[in-house]
Amino acid sequence: MRDTINIDGRNIPFEDGQTIIEAATAAGVYIPHLCHKPGYSPHGSCKLCTVNVNGRNCSACTFPAASGQTVLNNRRDLTEDRQRLTQMLFVEGNHFCPSCEKSGNCQLQAVAYALHMLDNHFPHFYPQREIDASHPEILLERNRCIFCNLCVRASQEKDGKNVFAISGRGINKHLIVNSASGYLKDSDIEIDDQAVHVCPTGAILIKRTGYQIPIGQRIYDHQTISEAALQQECADGE
């Protein structure tokens, strides 16, 4: 008999070495997240996947599954915390969904809908973030960056490069490019790199492809993020 954890009253089997979110996903249980992606090292930066394990809050993407765990995921206080975290992500950047090319394909936007986020709650910070359009094929729109570190991890772990990094703290925190000039055009990034395609928002875009898929026909126009995430991540984990 396989070891199990209990998530919201349901016994979920897990394999040795799996985190709570990996076990949950394999069993068709969605835990909200933005910085987690199967096949990438866990990071625990967005904190949306925070669950309560035996009375203690922890990040499901970094916490190992273990026998005897009672995990609470769909709890009102956790949902409220996730909503506040999502609101802070919106106000800490410059997110204007109606005019963003990633609208309908954006995980941040889809998470906000899933959490029934109706307003931003906090005042906008309006940080000054530079757009890098120097590369002939790739646009870096730092205003959409939520510091999930997925592009950093993708470049290092999947592409064997070191194109991106995060620098600064607080309002001055920003995504940087590891090149002599600091611009994408002088880096060794290529359009087929995983780092170009892993962004959950609209921070990294491929030029001359905007609106090829009309709004209304995009991923989250037809599926909730829980449906899309479970479908995609189970496929990625195979």
User: How many domains in the chain?
Assistant: 2
118 and 137 belong to one structural domain:
no
pLDDT in tens, 119-139: 999 999 999 899 999 999 999
111 and 146 belong to one structural domain:
no
The long-range contacts involving 216-219, CB below 8 angstroms and separated by at least 24 positions, are 216/104, 217/104, 218/103, 218/104, 218/105, 219/104, 219/105, 219/110
Mean pLDDT of the residues in the chain: 94
Task: Give the residue with greater pLDDT, 66 vs 231.
Answer: 66
Average pLDDT value for residue range 28-38: 96
The pLDDT of residue 236 is: 66
Q: Which CATH number covers residue 237? A: 3.10.20.740
11 and 99 belong to one structural domain:
yes
Tokens of 8: 């919201």
17 and 106 belong to one structural domain:
yes
98 and 182 belong to one structural domain:
no
177 and 193 belong to one structural domain:
yes
110 and 191 belong to one structural domain:
no
Distance, in Å, from the CA atom of 167 to the CA atom of 165, rounded to the nearest integer, reads 7
| Antiparallel, parallel or unpaired: β 131-132 and 164-167 | unpaired
119 and 133 belong to one structural domain:
no
15 and 109 belong to one structural domain:
yes
**What is the extent of the structural domain holding 163?**
128-207
pLDDT in tens, 37-94: 999 999 999 999 999 999 999 999 999 999 999 999 999 999 999 999 999 999 999 9
Give the phi and the psi of residue 138 in degrees, each rounded to 5: -125, 135
Whether 29 and 74 have beta carbons less than 8 Å apart is answered as no
Query: Identity (one letter) of the amino acid at 158?
Result: K
102 and 169 belong to one structural domain:
no
The pLDDT of residue 232 is: 77
The pLDDT of residue 1 is: 52
pLDDT in tens, 169-224: 888 899 999 999 999 999 999 999 999 999 999 999 999 999 999 999 999 999 99
Radius of gyration of the chain (CA): 18
Q: Which CATH number covers residue 146? A: 3.30.70.20
The pLDDT of residue 171 is: 84
107 and 136 belong to one structural domain:
no
Q: What is the pTM of this model?
A: 0.93
57 and 118 belong to one structural domain:
yes
